[in-house]
Amino acid sequence: MRNLLGVPNTLNVFSAYPLLLAGVPGLVLCLCGSGCFGISLRWEALGWFLFYAGNVAAAFGSAYYHLKPDDDRLIWDRLPMMLSASSLLSILVIERVDERAGLSCLLSLLSLILVSSACERVLDDMRLWVVLNFVPCVAIPAMLFLFPPKYTHSRFWFLATGFYLLARFEGLADRKVYSVNRYFISGHSLEHLCFAVVSLILNVMLSFRNVKIVRDS
């Protein structure tokens, strides 16, 4: 990776900060309550808060890791985005299935994230981490097609999901993407930017949507 302006892995570091720019407004508006964002359920609000908190943490954690990549810092690059992805999946369960089921999903995924981090750290076993990254890629699109939306402006979910899947692909094909564009920008840097776009799209959705179907929690 290129080092510019004396900053190691420059684009990997700087590309993380759009996550901060997209995440902070979402985090602030979540704290303002339903008057600012179209959020009607208590646990749904928690899910959105954790999603945006994960994005903000990812901006700092990823930059911290890429300034001096090593095994000790790697968790700060991965953990926040796992938090965001798990929160996003749980939000969809709350919105489209049931609030109690969504809360159970959120707590279960958060527990598994901690277990996967411990397995990677202590046992050098990344299998659970790989599964936890794969599940939202399948479950989120499936839920969008299988369950009716509670709110208006649900088309934004499809757009955000498209960028989310693109981000995951770019992360997996990091070196290939880097070579294809003649070593200008890595797939990992593009992954950061796509995740930031996901947050921006969801910011817009939450700002304009209203309850479409009243559903018991």
Which residues sit opposite 151 in a β-bridge?
211
| Residue 50 included in any domain | yes
| Residue 180 included in any domain | yes
Output the pLDDT for position 40.
76
| Residue 48 included in any domain | yes
What distance, in Å, lies between the first and last C-alpha atoms of the chain? 49
Residue 190 maps to which CATH number?
A: 1.20.1070
Query: Average pLDDT in the 61-67 region?
Result: 93
| Residue 216 included in any domain | no
| Residue 74 included in any domain | yes
Q: Which of the four pLDDT bands, split at 50, 70 and 90, describes residue 195? A: very high
pLDDT at 92 over 80: yes
Contact predicate 55/23, CB 8 Å: yes
Query: Average pLDDT in the 9-36 region?
Result: 86
Tokens 């707590």: give the residue: 107
pLDDT at 53 over 80: yes
* Residue bearing the bigger pLDDT, 50 or 29: 50
Displacement of CA 22 from its chain's centroid (Å):
12
| Residue 195 included in any domain | yes
Rounded Cα distance between 53 and 70, Å, is 24
pTM higher than the cut 0.85: yes
| Residue 213 included in any domain | no
Query: Average pLDDT in the 86-101 region?
Result: 94
The domain tally of the chain equals: 1
Domain span at residue 200 reads 10-208
pLDDT at 135 over 90: yes
| CA-based nearest residue to 101, from 47, 161, 170 | 47
Rounded Cα distance between 25 and 128, Å, is 32
pLDDT at 215 over 60: no
pLDDT (tens digit per residue) in 176-193:
999 998 888 999 999 999
| CA-based nearest residue to 51, from 21, 30, 69 | 30
Q: Which of the four pLDDT bands, split at 50, 70 and 90, describes residue 35? A: low
| Residue 82 included in any domain | yes
